[in-house]
A and B are shown apart, each in its own frame.
Chain A
């Protein structure tokens, strides 16, 4: 399936923009203004759409005239043909964790239907869209097939990607802060770390989708007070295992720096 690379889905849609009396402000122009004004980063309407890795909107006004064309068989360059599109198109392209397109589009409607209406109202045939199902159907009609989709990243779920980034940053910080500590201090500090970061919980502390600064990046961490109040001394974090005997020191040498 060329739109897919593993579970990563490359959605490419072109929605034709309604043409209008040339004396009026064109819908393409108004759409550009609208898109330019959308809030960005964590406040982007797309930040709320589940499983969205990266996506973009652009207005394709026309195709670009190339000037001269070098055709090898001929001794002189020939002028390129001057193609013109008869409509402008709203391109919406997304990279998300699939593999199911409908699930994504339904999720998009649920999260951002008012923005969707604002944007696509300038497009041909959108008057038929009134709910998630009709929106999904509409965008499928606008979909063009991806010929070749290159994945230079992962195809994990967004939650896994964000958790991974959060843990990378936090574990790195932990390693720097605890350089040189002795074994007991290290172990105790690490247990605190696990309680705070909950590495196994994708729903737990993580990075906020679309965050543009480190100050805004972390979400879901319990407050320091709450962490202190939680049961101390449990090796596996906030989910204490039942009655495991503590293994004695088997005499292994201390780790070398």
Chain B
């Protein structure tokens, strides 16, 4: 008798629970539409629906059987304007949260999208006074798979006779009217890597929640921290599902109010889609110049900025470059061993070693490094996920050690875009997606209070060195700052890093609702009724 899984993964869209690149989909195309006619829009959705991938990595149209895996995945999301355009009842619409209803552009003051990140600098599609309505994300193993799915969907658009319209206006390759936004993993020697344009290995850590279906070991680093007994020893536990999916119990010990009817919102979630331009040459130049003075040089400074070495090793656990390199060497060796194993026993042993090393990358917290000696308090990864650090070492100050972090976790999705390998190229960055049950409480909060501000870390107004919206002084020169705490040596002193330019600039985006498959079907059928 099959046991019933905690979560009905077949009802949840794939990109919510799975980070596609890890599953062999290193390419993506993000396409946006306008609904000109509600009935045509619904008919379009009904045609797309069988292609939509669930978290069970299946689609209705796809092959069945244990080994079946789609060649391309399809995920569908709606802006508030899009839900309106599709004829969702007013009574349901009213219950959607405010920040989602006004859209991301209207939240610029909260998000720090000012100066070069201001909407006036966004891609035309995002600057447009008319918001986009519908997003379809296609992920694939290669360009052909993506093109195939895209063509299929374009046929449905054509069949709508103008009722559904493709929105153009993405900037790429010198044009500003591209019909879609492309994303792709960065390749080295023909292999897809998990790196982003600044050279860091990205996406190492993601939240682990009840029912997410990931391997058990992913709770380490991905879950929340709890106390073992009354001492200061900590252990990992899964986060509540409701932090990431509507209609489930969350960390506040309730099922949070969500738009009615329940079938509309349960198993759905919200997403912030952001195109983030990366100033790669400014970053390289800065590291080179500052790296001359900084002890340990460029790589060490890069590690201080991110809280991880560029090869991914966490600075909190691997404070020196030698230790960080040793870890990645072991990891690569273990990976090779798995691939080259000739016997099942050998492969199993190698896989175990690899698994342990993966855990090393995420199994840490900051309670042994409260002063930020190894991993600066203001470094990017520590800001984005402080783990138990906000207890500031005061055992039992809070109900649970990571209480102040548990409701601020984000599921991160997305891929890099563009090419930064040729000098002078300027069109590259990351398509960043943040998913969670509450945009305001999770994504917006982290962005505003933890990346662009520092008070929770007792860092006054200091910003995230990599992602912060650093400003300029009266003469227009960059004036971002970071105090890098002194190292562990007796004679080490802090390093005062100044004149940081804004390395990351927003080029557009929007807030979306990612419905369950049930809700998607109902929206397409026009049968959503809160009565």
A residues neighboring B (CB under 8 Å) = 172, 175-177, 179-180, 255-257
- The chain B residues found within 8 Å of chain A, CB to CB, are 293-295, 481, 483, 489, 491-498
Give the chain A neighbours of B294 by CB distance below 8 A.
257
Please state if B491 and A256 are interface contacts (CB–CB under 8 Å). Answer: yes
**Contact assessment for B481 and A256 in the assembled complex, using a CB-CB cutoff below 8 Å:** no
Cβ contact within 8 Å between A177 and B295: no
B481 touches A179 (CB 8 A): no
Residues of B close to A257: CB separation below 8 A:
293-295, 493, 495
How many A-B pairs have beta carbons closer than 8 Å: the answer is: 26
**Residues from chain A with Cβ under 8 Å of B498 in the complex:** 176-177, 179
Interchain nearest-CB distance for B229 vs A (Å): 29
Q: With A176-B481, A179-B498 in contact, do A256 and B293 touch (Cβ < 8 Å)?
A: no
A217 to chain B, nearest CB (A): 13
Cβ–Cβ < 8 Å partners of A176 in chain B: 481, 496, 498
Nearest neighbor of A175 in chain B, beta-carbon distance: B496
Give 26 pairs: A residue, B residue, CB < 8 Å, sorted on A. Answer: A172-B483, A175-B483, A175-B494, A175-B496, A176-B481, A176-B496, A176-B498, A177-B498, A179-B293, A179-B495, A179-B496, A179-B497, A179-B498, A180-B293, A255-B491, A255-B493, A256-B295, A256-B489, A256-B491, A256-B492, A256-B493, A257-B293, A257-B294, A257-B295, A257-B493, A257-B495
Residues of the B chain whose Cβ atoms lie less than 8 Å from the Cβ of A255: 491, 493
Complex Cα spacing A180 to B494, Å? 11
Could you tell me the distance between the alpha carbons of A183 and B522 in the complex, rounded to whole angstroms?
72
Q: In the complex, which residues of chain B have a beta carbon less than 8 angstroms from the beta carbon of A175?
A: 483, 494, 496
A257 and B492 CA atoms in complex are apart in Å by 7
Name the residue on B nearest A215 (C-beta).
Answer: B474
B268 CB → nearest A CB, Å: 32
Tell me the dominant secondary structure on chain A's binding face.
loop
| Supplied contacts A179-B293, A257-B294, A257-B295, 6 more A-B pairs, CB within 8 Å | A175-B496, A176-B498, A179-B495, A256-B489, A257-B293, A257-B495
Q: Report how far A179 CA is from B491 CA in the complex, Å.
A: 16
- Whose C-beta in chain A lies nearest to the C-beta of B481? A176
Report the separation of the CA atoms of residues A172 and B493 in the bound assembly, to the nearest whole angstrom: 14
A253: nearest chain-B partner, CB-CB? B491
Residue in chain B with minimal CB distance to A177: B498
Q: Given the complex of chains A and B, what is the CA–CA distance between A179 and B495 in angstroms?
A: 7
Task: Give every chain A residue within 8 A of B491 (Cβ-Cβ).
Answer: 255-256
Alpha-carbon distance A172/B459, docked complex (angstroms): 12
* Most chain A beta-carbon contacts within 10 A, residue among B295, B491, B497: B491
Q: How far is the CA of A238 from the CA of B498 in the complex (A)?
A: 30
Alpha-carbon distance A175/B492, docked complex (angstroms): 15
**Which residues does chain B contribute within 8 Å of A180, judged by CB atoms?**
293
CA distance A177 to B481 in the complex (A): 11
Chain A nearest CB: distance from B356 CB in Å?
36
* A19 CB to nearest chain B CB (Å): 40
Shortest distance in angstroms between B393's beta carbon and chain A's nearest beta carbon? Answer: 18
Q: Which residue of chain A lies nearest to B474 when distances are taken between CB atoms in the complex? A: A215
For the complex, give the distance between the alpha carbons of A256 and B497 in Å.
Answer: 16
Which residues in B have their C-beta under 8 angstroms from that of A177? Answer: 498
* Nearest A residue to B492, CB-CB: A256
Q: How far is the CA of A176 from the CA of B480 in the complex (A)?
A: 11
* B331 CB, nearest partner CB in chain A, Å: 31
For B489, give the chain A residue with the smallest CB separation: A256
Instruction: With both chains docked as a complex, state the minimum distance between the C-beta of B122 and any C-beta of chain A, in angstroms.
Output: 28
**Distance in angstroms between the alpha carbons of A52 and B208 in the assembled complex:** 48
Could you tell me the distance between the alpha carbons of A176 and B494 in the complex, rounded to whole angstroms?
A: 11
Question: In whole Å, how far is B300's beta carbon from the nearest beta carbon of chain A?
Answer: 12
Taken together as a complex, chains A and B put the C-alpha atoms of A172 and B496 apart, in Å, by 9
Task: Write out the residue numbers on chain B whose beta carbons fall within 8 Å of the beta carbon of A179.
Answer: 293, 495-498
What is the minimal beta-carbon distance from B469 to any residue of chain A, in angstroms?
Answer: 17
The answer for the CA separation of A256 and B489 in the assembled complex, in Å, is 10
Contacts of A172 in B (CB 8 A): 483
Question: Chain A residues near B492 (CB, 8 Å)?
Answer: 256
**Which 7 A-B pairs rank lowest in CB-CB distance, beginning with the nearest?**
A176-B498, A179-B496, A176-B496, A175-B496, A256-B491, A180-B293, A257-B295
A256 to B495 alpha-carbon distance, docked (Å): 10
Cα of A175 to Cα of B295 in the assembled complex, Å: 17
| Distance between A14 CB and nearest chain B CB, rounded to angstroms | 32
Shortest Cβ distance from residue B264 to the other chain A in the assembled complex, whole angstroms? 29
Q: How far is the CA of A177 from the CA of B496 in the complex (A)?
A: 8
Compute how far the CA of A37 lies from the CA of B112 in the bound complex, rounded to whole angstroms: 30
Q: Taking each of A175, A177, A179, A255, which has the highest tally of chain B beta carbons within 10 Å of its own beta carbon?
A: A179
Task: Specify which chain A residues have a CB less than 8 angstroms from the CB of B293 in the assembled complex.
Answer: 179-180, 257
Q: Chain B nearest CB: distance from A61 CB in Å?
A: 28
Please report the C-alpha to C-alpha distance between residue A175 and residue B294 in the assembled complex, in whole angstroms.
15
Q: B497: which A residues are within 8 A, CB to CB?
A: 179
A197 to B483, CA, bound (A): 22
Shortest distance between the CB of A195 and any CB in chain B (Å): 22
What CA separation (Å) do A175 and B482 show in the bound complex?
Answer: 11
Whole-angstrom CA separation of A255 from B494 in the bound complex: 11
Q: Which B residue's beta carbon lies closest to that of A214?
A: B461
Which residue of the partner chain A has the closest CB to B494? A175
